[in-house]
Amino acid sequence: MDKSVDSQSELTIAVRPRETTVLFADMIGISKLYAVANDLNAVELIARCRNGLRDVIQSEGGRILRTMGERLMAIFPTPDSAALASTKMHLAIEGLPARGVKLGLRVAFHQGPLIQREDEVFGETVDTAARMLEYAIKGQTLLHGSCLPTLSPIMRACVRQFDDAPDNPANTTLELAWRQNPDITDLGARPASAPLTILRLNYKGQTVIRRRMNEALIIGRDESNDVVVPERKASRQHCTIERRPNGFVLRDHSTNGTYIVPTNEKEMFLLRADMTLRGAGILTLGQPRSETAEAIEYSTERAAE
């Protein structure tokens, strides 16, 4: 049975709705910058702007799907990660020098079902986020009201009603007033974390890839697992791998433990404990590598920029 899934390229075989957060951002002032600054300075500043936005988005588990002139579209695992990324994005742009024009940003995001085929996404969630962006002004972040229950308390405390959208009869468009909370500004001002890392598992022709913060991966004998290993000493749900800020962490919750052999290193044994996976290597369930043919190859790699 082949359960091959690339959970970030999303639906290369089948097309089905999935829940995610879509963010649009417009860079404000680029056209005017070309008019008042020389071309070399304008190009250099715009490159710094775009690189800064990309780094912030990746630091919060997001991924840019498309750039359209002065606009970009990205997806995030949660509204909270999109909210924090938007704050960091505003601060990153504000930190750039003024070359006759002070660049700015306007942002809008929405959570909901969408269809994704490779790097193309579409659906009402995408359309709504794009429509909300048209009402935002420089320095502002708008979000859909359905995102509110999933925000952390610190983010939720800074959400207020937005009344300037004419098609907002149900009060569904809100504003993240990030400047009014110094805790959010402080979070946004911190340096970006390490670049986004990808986990890749290979087992008997099956490849599973994980990139997102909220996508845990379960390995074991049970047929419902993401990777099914028919090893007699493996538990039904043997271990879990999840992405955390410091990398992908394997958590063993089995009876017989997990054996980990990093490339060019000695075999390690993990029982009811956690370990961060780095580089590449081999995992075996319940038995050392030398005693079983049921080996899972793993690798972690930096996402392409």
Tell me which of 167, 189, 211 is where a domain ends. 189
pLDDT at 10 over 60: no
CATH number of the domain enclosing 280: 2.60.200.20
Same domain as 219, residue 162: no
Same domain as 253, residue 149: no
Residue 245: predicted pLDDT = 61
Same domain as 172, residue 60: yes
Structural domains in the chain (count):
2
Kindly report, residue by residue over 127-186, the tens digit of the pLDDT.
Answer: 999 999 999 999 999 999 989 888 888 788 889 888 665 555 455 889 998 776 666 665
Same domain as 232, residue 150: no
Residue 284: predicted pLDDT = 97
Q: Tokens 């992908």 correspond to what residue?
A: 248
CA angle 218, 224, 225 (to 5 degrees): 20
Range of the structural domain that residue 58 is part of = 14-189
CATH number of the domain enclosing 21: 3.30.70.1230
On whether the CB atoms of residues 296 and 284 are closer than 8 A, the answer is yes
Same domain as 169, residue 235: no
Residue 17: predicted pLDDT = 60
Same domain as 240, residue 128: no
Tell me which of 173, 189, 205 is where a domain ends. 189
Same domain as 155, residue 225: no
Same domain as 207, residue 184: no
Q: Global pTM?
A: 0.57
Q: Name the nearest CA neighbour of 97 among 164, 153, 156, 52.
A: 52
Q: Tokens 């089995």 correspond to what residue?
A: 254
Same domain as 158, residue 266: no
Same domain as 125, residue 79: yes
Q: How many residues does the chain have?
A: 305
Least confident of 102-116, 125-139, 202-216, 269-283: 202-216
Residue 21: predicted pLDDT = 92
From CA 304, how far away is CA 118, in angstroms rounded? Answer: 16
The runs of H, that is alpha helices, within 60-123 are 79-94
DSSP character at residue 191 = P
